[in-house]
Structure 1
Amino acid sequence: MDASHIKSSTRDRAPFKLGVILALALLILGGFRLWQDEPSTGGAVLNFTSTVPDKRIEISSARDQAGLPFAHAGSFHHSDNPMNGGATMGSAPGTFGMPTWVEFTWQELPYPAQPRESFATEEAWVAYVDERYRAAPLKTERVKVAEKVPAWALEEVAKSRAATPPNELPDKMLWLHFIWTTDGIKVRWKIHNSERGGNSPEGGDPI
Protein backbone atom coordinates (compact mmCIF):
# COMPACT_ATOMS: atom_id res chain seq x y z
CA MET A 1 0.00 0.00 0.00
CA ASP A 2 1.63 3.27 -1.08
CA ALA A 3 1.45 6.50 0.90
CA SER A 4 -0.98 8.20 -1.50
CA HIS A 5 -3.47 5.36 -1.14
CA ILE A 6 -3.13 5.46 2.62
CA LYS A 7 -3.75 9.19 2.69
CA SER A 8 -6.96 8.86 0.74
CA SER A 9 -8.22 5.76 2.53
CA THR A 10 -7.82 7.22 5.98
CA ARG A 11 -9.91 10.31 5.40
CA ASP A 12 -13.19 10.21 7.27
CA ARG A 13 -16.49 10.86 5.55
CA ALA A 14 -18.51 13.72 7.06
CA PRO A 15 -22.29 13.38 7.53
CA PHE A 16 -24.22 14.39 4.43
CA LYS A 17 -25.44 17.95 4.26
CA LEU A 18 -27.04 20.23 1.71
CA GLY A 19 -24.12 20.03 -0.72
CA VAL A 20 -24.33 16.23 -0.78
CA ILE A 21 -28.06 16.34 -1.40
CA LEU A 22 -27.54 18.70 -4.34
CA ALA A 23 -24.84 16.44 -5.75
CA LEU A 24 -27.17 13.51 -5.27
CA ALA A 25 -29.85 15.26 -7.29
CA LEU A 26 -27.39 15.68 -10.15
CA LEU A 27 -26.56 11.97 -10.03
CA ILE A 28 -30.22 11.04 -10.16
CA LEU A 29 -30.99 13.37 -13.04
CA GLY A 30 -27.76 12.45 -14.82
CA GLY A 31 -28.55 8.76 -15.17
CA PHE A 32 -26.05 7.00 -12.90
CA ARG A 33 -26.97 3.29 -12.89
CA LEU A 34 -26.61 0.75 -10.11
CA TRP A 35 -28.18 -2.41 -11.51
CA GLN A 36 -30.79 -3.24 -14.14
CA ASP A 37 -32.98 -6.13 -13.00
CA GLU A 38 -36.75 -5.93 -13.42
CA PRO A 39 -39.12 -4.59 -12.29
CA SER A 40 -38.12 -0.95 -12.30
CA THR A 41 -38.70 0.87 -9.04
CA GLY A 42 -38.63 4.54 -9.94
CA GLY A 43 -35.11 5.03 -8.58
CA ALA A 44 -33.56 4.89 -5.13
CA VAL A 45 -30.97 6.58 -2.98
CA LEU A 46 -28.44 4.44 -1.10
CA ASN A 47 -27.28 5.43 2.37
CA PHE A 48 -24.52 3.72 4.37
CA THR A 49 -23.94 4.31 8.04
CA SER A 50 -22.99 2.57 11.30
CA THR A 51 -23.95 2.34 14.95
CA VAL A 52 -20.72 0.49 15.87
CA PRO A 53 -18.89 2.70 18.39
CA ASP A 54 -15.25 3.71 17.94
CA LYS A 55 -14.97 2.07 14.52
CA ARG A 56 -14.79 3.22 10.92
CA ILE A 57 -16.31 0.83 8.39
CA GLU A 58 -14.27 0.39 5.22
CA ILE A 59 -15.98 -1.70 2.52
CA SER A 60 -13.64 -3.55 0.17
CA SER A 61 -16.30 -5.16 -2.05
CA ALA A 62 -20.05 -5.56 -2.54
CA ARG A 63 -21.83 -7.88 -5.00
CA ASP A 64 -25.43 -8.77 -5.72
CA GLN A 65 -27.03 -12.17 -6.36
CA ALA A 66 -25.92 -12.06 -10.01
CA GLY A 67 -22.29 -11.58 -8.99
CA LEU A 68 -22.30 -7.99 -10.25
CA PRO A 69 -20.63 -5.14 -8.34
CA PHE A 70 -23.03 -3.24 -6.11
CA ALA A 71 -22.41 0.46 -5.55
CA HIS A 72 -21.24 1.32 -2.05
CA ALA A 73 -19.91 4.32 -0.13
CA GLY A 74 -16.47 2.90 0.65
CA SER A 75 -15.86 4.36 4.10
CA PHE A 76 -18.00 5.80 6.89
CA HIS A 77 -18.16 5.83 10.68
CA HIS A 78 -20.53 5.90 13.64
CA SER A 79 -23.67 8.03 13.55
CA ASP A 80 -25.94 8.74 16.51
CA ASN A 81 -28.87 8.88 14.10
CA PRO A 82 -28.32 6.13 11.51
CA MET A 83 -31.33 7.19 9.42
CA ASN A 84 -29.91 10.69 9.01
CA GLY A 85 -26.15 10.45 8.60
CA GLY A 86 -23.36 8.48 6.98
CA ALA A 87 -22.53 8.45 3.27
CA THR A 88 -25.12 8.77 0.50
CA MET A 89 -25.22 7.75 -3.17
CA GLY A 90 -27.85 8.18 -5.88
CA SER A 91 -29.16 6.14 -8.80
CA ALA A 92 -31.08 6.81 -11.98
CA PRO A 93 -34.88 6.71 -11.76
CA GLY A 94 -36.58 3.66 -13.21
CA THR A 95 -33.45 1.76 -14.32
CA PHE A 96 -33.18 -1.00 -11.74
CA GLY A 97 -35.00 -3.46 -9.53
CA MET A 98 -34.31 -4.48 -5.96
CA PRO A 99 -31.42 -6.94 -5.59
CA THR A 100 -32.43 -10.18 -3.89
CA TRP A 101 -29.39 -9.84 -1.64
CA VAL A 102 -26.07 -8.05 -1.43
CA GLU A 103 -22.86 -9.51 -0.01
CA PHE A 104 -20.49 -7.04 1.63
CA THR A 105 -16.85 -7.54 2.61
CA TRP A 106 -15.37 -4.95 4.95
CA GLN A 107 -12.99 -4.09 7.79
CA GLU A 108 -13.68 -2.23 11.02
CA LEU A 109 -10.82 0.16 11.79
CA PRO A 110 -10.27 2.01 15.08
CA TYR A 111 -11.82 5.48 15.00
CA PRO A 112 -10.65 8.14 15.33
CA ALA A 113 -7.18 7.36 14.04
CA GLN A 114 -4.06 8.98 15.42
CA PRO A 115 -3.36 12.16 13.44
CA ARG A 116 -0.50 12.06 10.98
CA GLU A 117 1.20 15.04 12.60
CA SER A 118 1.59 13.06 15.83
CA PHE A 119 4.25 10.86 14.19
CA ALA A 120 7.89 11.92 14.03
CA THR A 121 8.41 10.61 10.48
CA GLU A 122 6.41 9.71 7.40
CA GLU A 123 7.70 6.15 7.71
CA ALA A 124 6.35 5.83 11.25
CA TRP A 125 2.93 7.06 10.15
CA VAL A 126 2.83 4.65 7.18
CA ALA A 127 3.79 1.77 9.48
CA TYR A 128 0.98 2.73 11.87
CA VAL A 129 -1.61 2.78 9.07
CA ASP A 130 -0.37 -0.55 7.69
CA GLU A 131 -0.68 -2.13 11.13
CA ARG A 132 -4.25 -0.85 11.53
CA TYR A 133 -5.27 -2.64 8.35
CA ARG A 134 -3.37 -5.83 9.21
CA ALA A 135 -4.95 -5.99 12.66
CA ALA A 136 -8.53 -5.61 11.38
CA PRO A 137 -9.93 -8.91 10.05
CA LEU A 138 -11.99 -9.01 6.87
CA LYS A 139 -15.67 -9.61 7.55
CA THR A 140 -18.31 -10.82 5.09
CA GLU A 141 -22.09 -10.79 5.37
CA ARG A 142 -24.89 -11.41 2.89
CA VAL A 143 -27.97 -9.28 3.55
CA LYS A 144 -31.41 -9.71 2.01
CA VAL A 145 -32.85 -6.59 0.41
CA ALA A 146 -35.83 -7.11 -1.94
CA GLU A 147 -38.03 -8.97 0.53
CA LYS A 148 -37.80 -6.07 2.99
CA VAL A 149 -39.28 -3.44 0.65
CA PRO A 150 -43.05 -3.82 0.13
CA ALA A 151 -44.47 -3.74 -3.40
CA TRP A 152 -46.72 -0.78 -2.60
CA ALA A 153 -43.67 1.33 -1.68
CA LEU A 154 -42.02 0.56 -5.02
CA GLU A 155 -45.23 1.35 -6.87
CA GLU A 156 -45.65 4.63 -5.02
CA VAL A 157 -42.22 5.99 -5.95
CA ALA A 158 -42.56 4.69 -9.52
CA LYS A 159 -45.87 6.54 -9.93
CA SER A 160 -44.34 9.70 -8.50
CA ARG A 161 -41.48 9.51 -10.98
CA ALA A 162 -43.84 8.86 -13.90
CA ALA A 163 -45.78 12.02 -13.00
CA THR A 164 -42.62 14.14 -12.78
CA PRO A 165 -41.71 16.48 -15.67
CA PRO A 166 -38.35 15.87 -17.38
CA ASN A 167 -35.26 17.18 -15.56
CA GLU A 168 -37.12 17.57 -12.27
CA LEU A 169 -36.91 15.53 -9.09
CA PRO A 170 -39.97 13.48 -8.08
CA ASP A 171 -41.85 14.35 -4.91
CA LYS A 172 -41.36 10.83 -3.57
CA MET A 173 -38.00 9.08 -3.53
CA LEU A 174 -37.07 5.70 -2.09
CA TRP A 175 -34.05 5.53 0.20
CA LEU A 176 -32.33 2.26 1.11
CA HIS A 177 -30.36 2.43 4.35
CA PHE A 178 -27.57 -0.11 4.98
CA ILE A 179 -26.72 0.17 8.67
CA TRP A 180 -23.74 -1.61 10.26
CA THR A 181 -24.45 -2.66 13.87
CA THR A 182 -22.82 -4.92 16.45
CA ASP A 183 -25.48 -7.50 15.47
CA GLY A 184 -24.75 -7.35 11.74
CA ILE A 185 -25.91 -5.25 8.79
CA LYS A 186 -29.48 -3.99 8.92
CA VAL A 187 -31.49 -2.88 5.88
CA ARG A 188 -34.19 -0.22 6.18
CA TRP A 189 -36.16 1.70 3.58
CA LYS A 190 -37.89 5.06 3.65
CA ILE A 191 -39.96 7.08 1.19
CA HIS A 192 -38.80 10.68 1.41
CA ASN A 193 -41.77 12.85 0.52
CA SER A 194 -41.16 16.51 -0.37
CA GLU A 195 -44.89 17.30 -0.67
CA ARG A 196 -46.14 19.77 1.92
CA GLY A 197 -47.56 17.73 4.79
CA GLY A 198 -46.75 14.52 2.94
CA ASN A 199 -46.21 11.23 4.74
CA SER A 200 -42.76 9.56 4.73
CA PRO A 201 -43.33 5.89 5.60
CA GLU A 202 -40.42 3.60 6.45
CA GLY A 203 -39.76 -0.02 7.39
CA GLY A 204 -37.32 -2.90 7.25
CA ASP A 205 -35.07 -4.36 9.94
CA PRO A 206 -35.39 -3.01 13.48
CA ILE A 207 -32.26 -1.21 14.64
Structure 2
Amino acid sequence: MKIKILFLSFASLVLPACGSMQTVDGPGMIMNYGSTMEGRSADIRAITFPSGKRMIYGLTVTGGRKPNWRHAVGTTEGMSGDTRGVPEWLDFEWREPSYPGLEPEDFPSKEAYSKAVAEKYSKLTIKTQRVLISSRIPPEVIQEVTHSRSHIPKGQHLPGKMLWIYFIWTDDGIKFRWEMSCDKPCVEKGGGDEIN
Protein backbone atom coordinates (compact mmCIF):
# COMPACT_ATOMS: atom_id res chain seq x y z
CA MET A 1 0.00 0.00 0.00
CA LYS A 2 1.45 3.30 -1.03
CA ILE A 3 2.61 5.70 1.67
CA LYS A 4 1.47 9.28 1.26
CA ILE A 5 4.29 11.76 1.67
CA LEU A 6 2.51 14.87 2.85
CA PHE A 7 5.26 17.40 3.28
CA LEU A 8 8.99 17.89 3.68
CA SER A 9 10.30 20.77 5.76
CA PHE A 10 13.93 21.02 6.80
CA ALA A 11 13.76 24.75 7.52
CA SER A 12 14.08 24.49 11.27
CA LEU A 13 17.10 22.22 10.86
CA VAL A 14 18.85 23.91 7.97
CA LEU A 15 18.34 27.62 8.59
CA PRO A 16 19.82 27.70 12.09
CA ALA A 17 22.71 25.61 10.78
CA CYS A 18 23.86 28.16 8.23
CA GLY A 19 27.11 29.45 9.56
CA SER A 20 30.27 28.13 11.16
CA MET A 21 31.04 27.56 14.84
CA GLN A 22 27.55 28.63 15.89
CA THR A 23 26.15 28.24 19.39
CA VAL A 24 23.57 25.47 19.67
CA ASP A 25 21.77 24.05 22.69
CA GLY A 26 21.26 20.56 21.33
CA PRO A 27 21.38 18.33 18.26
CA GLY A 28 18.02 19.21 16.77
CA MET A 29 16.28 16.34 15.02
CA ILE A 30 14.55 15.27 11.86
CA MET A 31 11.23 13.59 12.69
CA ASN A 32 9.63 10.97 10.50
CA TYR A 33 6.14 9.48 10.76
CA GLY A 34 5.22 6.13 9.23
CA SER A 35 2.73 3.30 9.60
CA THR A 36 2.59 -0.47 9.30
CA MET A 37 -1.16 -0.67 10.00
CA GLU A 38 -3.21 -2.50 7.41
CA GLY A 39 -6.54 -0.97 6.40
CA ARG A 40 -6.21 2.04 8.73
CA SER A 41 -4.42 5.36 8.67
CA ALA A 42 -3.14 7.48 11.55
CA ASP A 43 -4.82 10.89 11.56
CA ILE A 44 -2.54 12.91 13.86
CA ARG A 45 -4.54 15.59 15.67
CA ALA A 46 -1.92 17.11 17.98
CA ILE A 47 1.51 16.72 19.56
CA THR A 48 2.21 18.14 23.03
CA PHE A 49 5.70 18.94 24.37
CA PRO A 50 6.90 18.78 27.99
CA SER A 51 6.69 22.59 28.18
CA GLY A 52 2.94 22.35 27.55
CA LYS A 53 3.26 23.65 24.00
CA ARG A 54 0.64 21.90 21.86
CA MET A 55 1.04 21.75 18.10
CA ILE A 56 -2.13 21.12 16.11
CA TYR A 57 -1.53 18.82 13.19
CA GLY A 58 -3.48 17.84 10.11
CA LEU A 59 -1.26 14.93 9.11
CA THR A 60 -2.54 11.59 7.94
CA VAL A 61 -0.02 8.77 7.72
CA THR A 62 -0.95 5.69 5.71
CA GLY A 63 0.97 2.49 5.26
CA GLY A 64 0.42 -1.24 5.38
CA ARG A 65 2.29 -4.42 6.10
CA LYS A 66 5.94 -4.02 5.14
CA PRO A 67 9.01 -6.30 5.20
CA ASN A 68 10.51 -4.03 7.86
CA TRP A 69 9.87 -0.67 9.52
CA ARG A 70 12.13 1.23 7.10
CA HIS A 71 9.62 0.63 4.32
CA ALA A 72 6.97 2.31 6.47
CA VAL A 73 8.73 5.67 6.41
CA GLY A 74 6.40 8.42 5.20
CA THR A 75 6.04 12.03 6.29
CA THR A 76 9.22 13.87 7.26
CA GLU A 77 9.80 17.21 8.93
CA GLY A 78 12.82 18.96 10.39
CA MET A 79 12.35 20.30 13.87
CA SER A 80 14.02 20.41 17.27
CA GLY A 81 11.25 20.42 19.83
CA ASP A 82 10.70 23.31 22.22
CA THR A 83 14.39 24.29 22.10
CA ARG A 84 17.38 23.11 20.13
CA GLY A 85 17.51 20.13 22.48
CA VAL A 86 15.75 16.78 22.16
CA PRO A 87 12.50 16.71 24.17
CA GLU A 88 12.12 14.31 27.07
CA TRP A 89 8.89 13.00 25.59
CA LEU A 90 6.07 13.82 23.19
CA ASP A 91 2.35 13.22 23.73
CA PHE A 92 0.49 12.20 20.57
CA GLU A 93 -3.23 12.41 19.87
CA TRP A 94 -4.62 10.63 16.83
CA ARG A 95 -7.54 8.77 15.28
CA GLU A 96 -7.50 5.72 13.06
CA PRO A 97 -9.95 5.99 10.16
CA SER A 98 -10.22 3.19 7.63
CA TYR A 99 -7.91 3.37 4.63
CA PRO A 100 -8.67 3.81 1.81
CA GLY A 101 -11.34 6.16 3.09
CA LEU A 102 -14.39 7.82 1.61
CA GLU A 103 -13.98 9.24 -1.88
CA PRO A 104 -15.69 12.44 -3.14
CA GLU A 105 -16.79 10.77 -6.37
CA ASP A 106 -18.95 8.36 -4.38
CA PHE A 107 -21.24 11.20 -3.26
CA PRO A 108 -23.72 13.35 -5.18
CA SER A 109 -22.21 16.63 -3.92
CA LYS A 110 -19.32 18.14 -1.97
CA GLU A 111 -21.72 18.89 0.85
CA ALA A 112 -22.79 15.26 1.08
CA TYR A 113 -19.16 14.12 1.05
CA SER A 114 -18.14 16.60 3.77
CA LYS A 115 -21.10 15.57 5.93
CA ALA A 116 -20.23 11.88 5.59
CA VAL A 117 -16.57 12.50 6.48
CA ALA A 118 -17.51 14.62 9.50
CA GLU A 119 -19.93 11.95 10.71
CA LYS A 120 -17.37 9.20 10.24
CA TYR A 121 -14.64 11.05 12.14
CA SER A 122 -16.98 12.05 14.96
CA LYS A 123 -17.44 8.37 15.80
CA LEU A 124 -13.74 7.57 15.96
CA THR A 125 -11.98 7.14 19.30
CA ILE A 126 -9.23 9.67 20.02
CA LYS A 127 -6.13 7.73 21.00
CA THR A 128 -3.23 9.08 23.05
CA GLN A 129 0.28 7.90 23.82
CA ARG A 130 3.35 9.41 25.45
CA VAL A 131 6.57 8.47 23.67
CA LEU A 132 9.81 8.80 25.63
CA ILE A 133 12.66 10.21 23.55
CA SER A 134 15.76 11.76 25.18
CA SER A 135 16.24 8.99 27.77
CA ARG A 136 16.35 6.41 24.98
CA ILE A 137 19.13 8.06 22.99
CA PRO A 138 22.69 7.60 24.36
CA PRO A 139 24.15 10.89 25.70
CA GLU A 140 27.27 10.44 23.59
CA VAL A 141 25.16 10.39 20.42
CA ILE A 142 23.46 13.66 21.36
CA GLN A 143 26.89 15.13 22.12
CA GLU A 144 28.30 13.99 18.78
CA VAL A 145 25.45 15.51 16.78
CA THR A 146 25.44 18.72 18.84
CA HIS A 147 29.20 19.12 18.30
CA SER A 148 28.76 18.51 14.58
CA ARG A 149 26.06 21.16 14.33
CA SER A 150 28.22 23.72 16.10
CA HIS A 151 31.23 23.01 13.87
CA ILE A 152 29.85 23.23 10.35
CA PRO A 153 32.69 23.96 7.92
CA LYS A 154 32.58 27.27 6.12
CA GLY A 155 30.64 27.02 2.88
CA GLN A 156 28.72 23.97 4.06
CA HIS A 157 25.06 24.28 5.11
CA LEU A 158 24.42 20.94 6.77
CA PRO A 159 26.22 19.32 9.71
CA GLY A 160 28.20 16.15 9.14
CA LYS A 161 26.01 14.26 11.61
CA MET A 162 22.25 14.42 12.01
CA LEU A 163 19.75 12.82 14.37
CA TRP A 164 16.73 11.10 12.85
CA ILE A 165 13.71 10.24 14.98
CA TYR A 166 11.09 7.76 13.71
CA PHE A 167 7.53 7.35 14.99
CA ILE A 168 5.92 4.28 13.45
CA TRP A 169 2.22 3.54 14.00
CA THR A 170 1.56 -0.17 14.49
CA ASP A 171 -1.32 -2.33 15.70
CA ASP A 172 0.29 -2.07 19.15
CA GLY A 173 0.57 1.71 19.20
CA ILE A 174 3.45 4.04 18.31
CA LYS A 175 6.92 2.54 18.10
CA PHE A 176 10.06 4.66 18.41
CA ARG A 177 13.37 4.43 16.56
CA TRP A 178 16.37 6.74 16.30
CA GLU A 179 19.40 6.95 14.03
CA MET A 180 22.50 9.10 13.75
CA SER A 181 23.40 9.58 10.10
CA CYS A 182 26.79 10.94 9.12
CA ASP A 183 29.16 11.63 6.28
CA LYS A 184 31.69 8.91 5.54
CA PRO A 185 33.92 7.72 7.05
CA CYS A 186 31.73 7.35 10.12
CA VAL A 187 30.04 4.68 12.19
CA GLU A 188 26.29 5.24 11.96
CA LYS A 189 24.34 4.40 15.08
CA GLY A 190 20.72 3.59 15.89
CA GLY A 191 18.33 1.99 18.33
CA GLY A 192 14.81 1.94 19.73
CA ASP A 193 11.84 -0.42 19.67
CA GLU A 194 11.76 -3.71 17.86
CA ILE A 195 9.13 -3.47 15.11
CA ASN A 196 7.78 -6.65 13.59
TM-score band (shorter)?
0.7 to 0.9
The answer to whether 1:178 aligns with 2:167 is yes
Shift of 1:114: 2.8
CA distance in structure 2 between the aligned counterparts of 1:197 and 1:71, rounded to whole angstroms: 39
Retained in 2: the 8 A contact 1:45–1:90? yes
* Offset at residue 71 of structure 1 (A): 7.9
* Partner Cα separation in structure 2 for residue 30 and residue 74 of structure 1: 23
The aligned residue for residue 9 of structure 1 is: none
Indicate if the aligned counterparts of 2:50 and 2:87 stay in contact, CA closer than 8 A: yes
Q: 1:29 aligns to what?
A: 14
Give the alignment's TM-score, normalised by structure 1.
0.76
Name 1:83's counterpart in structure 2. 70
The equivalent residue for 1:205 is: 193
Residue 129 of structure 1, CA deviation: 0.7
| More helix as a share of residues | 1
Secondary structure of 2:85 counterpart: coil
Cα separation, 2, equivalents of 1:170 and 1:149? 19
Q: Which stretches in structure 2 are left out of the alignment for 5+ residues?
A: 18-23
1:64-75 map, 5 Å? 64-69=49-54, 74-75=59-60
> Higher relative contact order at CA 8 Å, sep ≥6: structure 1 or structure 2?
2
- Across the two proteins, how many residue pairs are aligned to each other? 183
Counterpart of 1:7 in structure 2 is: none
User: Separation in 1 of the partners of 2:175 and 2:116?
Assistant: 31
2:87 is aligned with 1:99: yes
- 1 or 2, which has the higher strand percentage? 2
TM-score, L = length of structure 2: 0.80
2:30–2:80: 8 Å Cα contact kept in structure 1?
Answer: no
For residues 126 and 147 of structure 1, do their structure 2 counterparts lie closer, same or farther at Cα, with a shift above 3 Å needed? same
Aligned: 1:191 with 2:185? no
Structure 1 position 117, deviation (Å): 1.2
The correspondence for 1:118, drawn from 106, 125, 147, is 106
Q: CA deviation at 1:142?
A: 1.4
1:47 aligns with 2:32: yes
* Alignment partners' CA distance in 2, 1:92 and 1:103: 15
Root-mean-square deviation (CA, aligned residues, Å) is 2.8
Write out per-residue CA displacement over residues 70-116 of structure 1, whole angstroms, 9 at most, x where no aligned residue.
586722111535435211111269x5222222111111111111321
The 8 Å contact of residues 29 and 92 in structure 1, kept in 2 or not, is answered as no
1:64 and 1:161 map into 2 onto residues whose CA distance is 23
* 1:33-58: CA deviation from partner (whole Å, max 9, x where unpaired): xxxxxx93222101111111111111
